[in-house]
Structure 1
Amino acid sequence: MNRPVLLPCLLLALAGGPAAARTTIEIFDTAKAVNQACDAGIAAAREAAEAIREVPVDQAGADTVLAAWDDLYTAMADRIGPAYLQAYVHPDQAVRDAGQDCINRTTKLETDLYQDPALFRRVQAVAPEAGADEALQAHLLAEFEDSGVALPDERRQRAKTLLQRIEELGQQFQQNLRENDTVLTFGPTEQAGLPDAFIERVPADDEGNLRLKLQYPHYFPFMENATNAEARERFYRAFNNRGGDANLDILEELALLRRELAGLYGFDSYAAFATRRRMVGDPGTVHAFLDRVDNTLAPLQAAELAELTRLKAEHTGRNEATLAPWDKSFYLTRLRESRYDIDAEAMRRYFPMPAMTDWVLHVAEKLYGLRFVPADVPVWHEDVRYYDVRDRRSDNRLGGLYLDLHPRDGKYGHAAAFGVRGASTRTARKPTSVLVTNFTRSGLTPDELETYLHEIGHALHGVLSTTRYAMLSGTEVELDFVEAPSQMFQAWSYRLESLRTIPAVCPECPPVDADLVERMEASRRAGQALFYGRQWLYAQYDMQLAGPEPVDPMALWQKLESATPLGHVEGTRFPATFGHIAGGYAAGYYGYMWAEALGLDMLSAFDDGLMDPKTGAKFRRTVLARGGERPASEMVRDFLGRETRPNAFFEKLRNEDAASPQ
């Protein structure tokens, strides 16, 4: 399963460090320290902006305006970037709350800057050379335009109000999910089927009742293994209600505000407003892509549903069995166990922690010519590890990487990569990425290993950036391309060529042979039509919510989900949990499948071997290093030597690319 990546787009590229070689970030122990850093960051930004305003328009150039603007953001980000991160990961709620407040304050500052006509005129006046200067100017002008700087005064002020409110609502939506402390209690009779290792590692009371939270590390193993259907239903309903009415209200207001914002610019929908800045260019291209996905999947979903329903009938002894949504994961797990001898929980012994961290870094080292060197630096929690990332050939330090891998109270509940500092060759700035996951300490399932490779792909996209300007560093690319490098890198989690290198870092690990890889791949494909059908549903819902006609978010969801093979469960409110479209992925969730098509196409370049350092070096040079300095389509063409095509993705959907251990 592909996990989401969180992009801190509010700060554009969070770059920084007054010392060029610095790659660690400031750690805050108190809310007061966060507030002080936020105050300092905002003050530094305003001071730098005033200096740009004083540049005569006829002297506006790359050095006086573009570089100065990049300096403005890097100076601000040194102070505000750590506050942004710690709003999501710090153990102290007071620190998290202060970080959240800093995010809201910074949003207001950003809108002020991009609505400033004097700053806009100076960016407009630059006559840049082709390359990074031209790309940064285009990036800045797009930000100015999207903030409403060229609108008449009344509409510009309305745009400012809308943008600030949209960001505040998006952050509140995420905070409501992140701070949800609901605990479900499951008694001994409801624990049947759960692996002993799972029961041993989750909280329980003195009577032996499990106390489970609405988080992935608890939810997925339970839904995959608990034989008690009523218990699964109870967990399913709670998990799909965890945002509550508050988040439904937020989503409805967001949709209305975004539609109004688009209207200020003359667009009939937020989807049209947003997609014009992306690879697809317009909503029509998105809908054509989604239609093709839907037409490909329809018969395959029906076949998979029939097979899982048959398994339920055999398991329950009821010939007229109907598959419920809370049954899907359970019977998929049974299918994988019986047909392919793949037990996800038992597979953790093949992928133990922390050995898998050593292996993931080992793969990256071999592929991209790197060394990850542990260093003892201040961190926000004892679980966090830091590495200097060095070029293997030159031993130059390229950047820094933090890993925060295990769950705890108050921490962001999914998996995400935060690009907290962007690269700048102009100032010799070194980038830093933070990888945040919620992995079990004992070991990973194959799905979790795939998640690890996906997220480390995002982190490396940031760390291996060598852009001239920090604001164009790392994942500052078109939204519908940002997932592509990570979608590609997932393949290293299920191919024999990469998996058989595990003994290099873990000699005691059970060997992964060709037979096991073939069974893992076949198991991975089981139920994939239903999985991608769900991805299609999310993308379709997102696009319709961002469409030209106002809709009630819950009514729209109920209508669309009711038309899917498993239908809608009355009383559940999935949209209240859909953090992607409350944030930066609004009118952009299609990008996961769009980017996967690009990622699978780029994967085809590794014909000489998945661990081929020559191809890895080319990918590092032509894609990862370039950030947003070039359009994504040009970078992909440079890497592949041709225009991209989605053939491999649709072959995968049709299950035509037969499993291969290579």
Structure 2
Amino acid sequence: MASSPPTSNLAGVTDQHLADLADLAPLDLPEAGEAEAWRSFLSRRVEGELATARAQADALRVLAAGDAAALERWNDLHVALGNAFAVSSLLAQVHPDQQLRESAERFEQELHAFQTGLMLDVEVFGRLESVPREGLDEALAPGATRVLDDALRAFRRSGVDRDDATRERLATLSARDSDLSQAFGRNIRDGATSTRVPASALAGLPEDYVAEHPAADDGTVAISTAYPDMGPFLMFSADAAARREVMTTYLNLGWPANDEVLGELLAVRDETARTLGYDGWPDYDAELKMIGSGSAIAEFVDRVAADAADSAQRDLAVMLERARHDDPGVERLTVADSRYLGEVVRREQFEVDGQAVRGYFDFAKVRRGLLDVTARLFGLTYTDVAEAPTWHDEVAAYDVTLDDTGERLGRIYLDLHPREGKYNHAAQFDLVSGVGQRQLPEGVLVCNFGRGRMEHSEVVTLFHEFGHLLHHVLAGRHPWARFSGVATEWDFVEAPSQMLEEWAWDHSVLATFATNADGEPIPAALVERMRAAEEFGQGIYAATQMYYAAISYRFHAELPDDLTARSAALSQQYAVWERLPDTHFHCGFGHLSGYTSGYYTYMWSLVIAKDLFSAFDADDLFAPEVARRYRDTVLAAGGSADAADLVEAFLGRPYDNRAFTAWLES
């Protein structure tokens, strides 16, 4: 049975608690550019925390059976292990020094090996299994029983109760999964490249973009696979052949290396699940999610695809008709046409000119506006810590405090521009997981935006990813490491961030920071047209997401021999766009590493996000009562209760799909 949602202490912190927090400080990082100092910091941090974790495991083993202190030792162990994982995982993806990134990856492997061994340790399991449950929450701290149940389930899912040979095989499989997952991500990250196209293909692109892409002696320009480069080109270039070349390059990121890597990774996961008695990886993976089973994933994907079909085909027909104005012989549109034709239709039928819209979103103003909006909404203050050392000069640091009490909640870092060797998508990374009265949460927002003007879609992405960062910081005061930060079921994780996207579509919000070169705020009528234009493609968006979700699920459920052929077949079944020949999307689909068979979670979370948003006043998105209640009930709770219970506590009822269905059909 799901536990009851906790009562948040966000707005009722005691004087003693504030005094304890005053003694906490963020990590003391080296200065940017000091590679040797960073290597030393990485080694000290990981090796020191890993040594602490080993010591806690040793101390746990010698406790008498039935000693509740075993759970406290378990928590201490995971505080240390989480610290080691966080810094190695982050620096492996963002640090400019390649040698340090490689060292961080090796540390990750060592940490995974320790974690695997720990979860197969029958002595540690035995000490935890013997902890008496009666009165445990009162004896230790609220949530202790939930932590214990979670730990014991994790041990059994690791195979601790199997024979020696099986445990040894599971350990080997876990290590191989870690190595292959690292290789998969590395091949995508390090495979970033560019395509040379005629300079004439830049006709119609923004002036600042053209200026940043001077032609070479042969009359060509380079368009990289980085989002700030590729996105505007695919949106505004009328050169269909050039768009096709650029998109083909992007869809071959990680290929051919990742074809073999992914094939083995799928096999390793399948063997792991079957060794543990599951019917396959999707069932094993879904057990810890709201959806519950692998078969339910397939049903959800097909249901959403069916619900979106009419809307998607209607909008596709509009785009195809428009394409035939330029080329009467067009029979089917490809994925390389999607952004360009979407922009043309928005401009011609909805009077939304992407370049005109872009003129209102200066990056510096957007970043400042994001902070102002979320501070006002959730009762926070962000203090620029200009003197804080970081791993790169472009990374900004802010301390976050709670207006209600003056409590310092933690520190955030914004690493928002592309550079060589950096993680090339958008995500929130932990640097430190917050633990009540022990350590402040520190989170990092890693994106790849340009330094000048932004597309509105990029603004939406920035709001989305910042939602994860807020979740990490606001849920950083629990005494149990298991509850800290974004620790909910994975098919709920995206919902708070998807809901925050709504503030990037509201005129009263955008007008506070979206201004043109003359300082004039974006017109309300334009924002309304932007919303109408966005609704135009909702069915296509849902169909595309279901194609991605189908790859994620079907690859893990079926283990196809020919991944490219299966991807092509799924594209034919779910996607509305014609697949480009000789492309291998799955090799660059980074979510196959982390989300495994569960990419459906983006759409599952969106159902909940739309319902959460229905509680807000659409005419006053800054109304404080509902925003603070949401902050305290959902975000601050972290993983201390099941997501369905948190949502029900906020809405006053179980969530449903009515708001999502209305959105999809609009």
1:110-121 correspondence to structure 2 within 5 Å? 110-121=115-126
Structure 2 residue aligned with 1:163, among 156, 174, 177? 174
Counterpart of 2:598, as a letter, is G
Instruction: Give 1:55's aligned residue.
Output: 63
In structure 1, distance between residues paired with 2:171 and 2:201: 52
Structure 1 pair 281/378, CA: closer, same or farther in 2 (3 Å)?
Answer: same
**1: CA distance, partners of 2:104 / 2:216:** 33
Is the contact made by 2:377 and 2:622 (CA closer than 8 Å) also made in structure 1?
yes
CA distance in 2 between partners of 1:215 and 1:246 (Å): 20
Q: How do 1:508-547 and structure 2 match up within 5 A? A: 509-547=519-557
* CA displacement at 1:203 relative to structure 2: 6.7
SS at match of 1:420: strand
Correspondence list, 1:58-457, <5 A: 58-59=66-67, 61=68, 64-128=69-133, 129-130=136-137, 131-202=142-213, 205=216, 209-316=220-327, 318=328, 320-375=330-385, 376-425=387-436, 427-457=437-467
Deviation per residue, 1:415-454 (Å, 9 max, x gap): 11012222222x3422111001111111321101100110
How far did residue 192 of structure 1 move? 2.5
Contact 1:312 1:321 in 2 (8 A): no
Distance of aligned partners of 1:127 and 1:622 in 2 relative to their CA distance in 1, 3 Å threshold: farther
Query: What TM-score, normalized to structure 2?
Result: 0.91
Given the alignment, which residue of 14, 23, 32 partners 2:26?
23
Give the residue type in structure 2 aligned to 1:44.
Answer: T
Structure 1 residue 632, shift from structure 2 partner? 0.5
1:630 and 2:633 aligned: no
Name the CA distance, whole Å, in 2 between partners of 1:92 and 1:179: 13
Quick one: percent identity of the two aligned structures? 32
User: Post-superposition shift, 1:50?
Assistant: 0.7
Is contact 1:422-1:471 (8 Å) kept?
Answer: no
CA shift at 1:320, angstroms? Answer: 4.8
Against the structure 1 CA distance between its residues 19 and 578, is the aligned structure 2 distance closer, same or farther, given a 3 Å change threshold?
A: farther
Residue aligning to 1:9: none
Can you give the 5+ residue segments of structure 1 that lack an aligned partner in the other structure?
1-16, 656-662
Which residue in 2 is equivalent to 1:602?
612
- Residue 498 in structure 1 maps to residue 509 in structure 2: yes
Q: How far 1:174 moved relative to its partner?
A: 0.5
Residue 69 of structure 1: CA displacement? 2.0
Secondary structure at the counterpart of residue 363 of structure 2: coil
C-alpha distance 41-429 of structure 1, shift in aligned 2 (>3 A)? closer
Amino acid at match of 2:64: P
For 1:571 and 1:38, how far apart are their aligned partners in 2?
43
Q: 1:562 to 1:333 in 2, by over 3 A?
A: same
Of 265-274 and 322-331, more deviation after overlay is shown by: 322-331
- CA drift of 1:220 comes to 1.4
Specify the SS of the correspondent of 2:277: coil
CA distance in 2, matches of 1:513, 1:181: 38
CA RMSD of aligned residues (A): 2.2
Contact 1:349 1:509 in 2 (8 A): no
In structure 1, what is the equivalent of residue 16 of structure 2?
none
Q: Residues 374 and 449 of structure 1: is their aligned pair in 2 closer, same or farther, counting only changes over 3 Å?
A: same
Q: Classify the secondary structure of the residue corresponding to 2:636.
A: helix
Matches within 5 A, 1:643-654: 643-654=654-665
1:422 is aligned with what amino acid? S
Q: SS state of the match for residue 372, structure 1?
A: strand
2: CA distance between counterparts of 1:614 and 1:321?
Answer: 53
> Does the 8 A contact of 1:401 with 1:433 survive in 2?
yes
Corresponding position: 1:41 with 2:49: yes
Number of equivalences: 632
Residues 247-256 or 67-76, more deviating: 67-76
Task: Assess if the C-alpha contact under 8 Å between 2:128 and 2:148 holds in 1.
Answer: yes
Q: What is the CA–CA distance in structure 2 between the aligned matches of 1:185 and 1:45, rounded to whole Å? A: 50
| Partner-residue secondary structure (3-state), 1:149 | coil
Query: Unpaired runs of 5+ in structure 2?
Result: 1-19
**Aligned partners of 1:577 and 1:270: how far apart in 2?**
21
After superposition, the C-alpha distances for 1:153-203 in whole angstroms (9 at most, x for unaligned) are 111111111111111111111111111242222232332332222122347
2-side partners of 1:456 and 1:275: how far apart? 26
2:118 alignment partner, SS class: helix
Per-residue deviation, 1:584: 2.2
**TM-superposition CA deviations, 1:65-106 (whole Å, max 9, x none):** 222222223234445522221111111111111111111111
